[in-house]
Structure 1
Amino acid sequence: MRRTARPLATTALALAFAALGGAPAYGGAGTGRLEVSPAAVVPGDEVTVATAACGADGAATGDAGAVGAGPFPLAPDAGQGRLGGRFEVPPSAQPGTYEIVATCADGASRATGDLVVSLTGTRSGPPAYPRGSVKTGVGGALGPDPVQAAAGVAALAVAAAGGTWLLHRRARGDGI
């Protein structure tokens, strides 16, 4: 009895593993690959996705809700034989790896891809240049009030002249 129990248990375990491993994870839906470009972004970047899982003439809806961007449409790419779409990573996105999903219009297939968001790096969009002045509370020489700037320069000139006169007098021995 012992000799037959071990092979039967091994066979049952192998069949159970094959049944679980071979079944689609989404209730009969086929899963394809979603190409995400660029795969690593910073918040505010625009991301392009493409898949051939739905066919060249199909349609699909993308979902970037995991990263906070929400749904977006996928349409046929001219001459590419696949569907493509794009979305923008919101500025409030936190660093991490997010799953982006495209569900075909027929509902039978879907494609997934990963998007990595980090806070370091450069945006792939047009550069943002700083505008305006720095609010330090001190003001500047070329600030909005040239009269105050001139008064400050005059005060420094008087202080420098007075200090020079006192040092010259002390060097001559006249005392202070």
Structure 2
Amino acid sequence: EQHGSCTLCDIAALQALSRRVHYGKFVAESKYRSNPEEYQRLVDANDADGVMKLLTNSAVEKMVLRRARLKAATYGRDPLLSASLEMEEISSESTAIVAAAAASAVVAAIEATGGEKKQGKVDPMVIESIYKDLIIPLTKDIEVAYLFRRCGKDPPDDFAPDRMSVDAKTKGLTASVEV
């Protein structure tokens, strides 16, 4: 049985997610430096919602969601099968590979933006939902907590790290484990 191997893969995936959401600290520092007085004022007033509103950039979030959906649509595709290129007509092997990969990416982009659906390894809308419902909110929570600490205060309980498991349960994101 391969329970140990599965566990190691699960740990690696969780560590990657943790690294991803904790990159928000670097983003928060950059945002703080662009407007330190306003962040300090909001933190001094214990206005976590105001801090969240100030650091939220909806346009960037939409781009992240679109990029995640596009990457998910592209993931797992065989670029040589998606391309409608005749390999014999192309002068070099490297040119053929690049052309096939580009054609595959175009096909995936069309599908990811609402065109004809073909089954890939993962549904792009599921990946977009994971980003929208988990990764982006967790990242922003970490940014708020960081900004409170950066301004010399403890973050509100709503942004405590132990709260995240409670959020997952309320959103129905926990799974039962079958052994």
Q: TM-score normalised to the size of structure 1?
A: 0.21
Larger Rg: 1
Q: Which has the higher helix share?
A: 2
> How high is the TM-score relative to the length of structure 2?
0.21
Name whichever structure is richer in strand by fraction.
Answer: 1
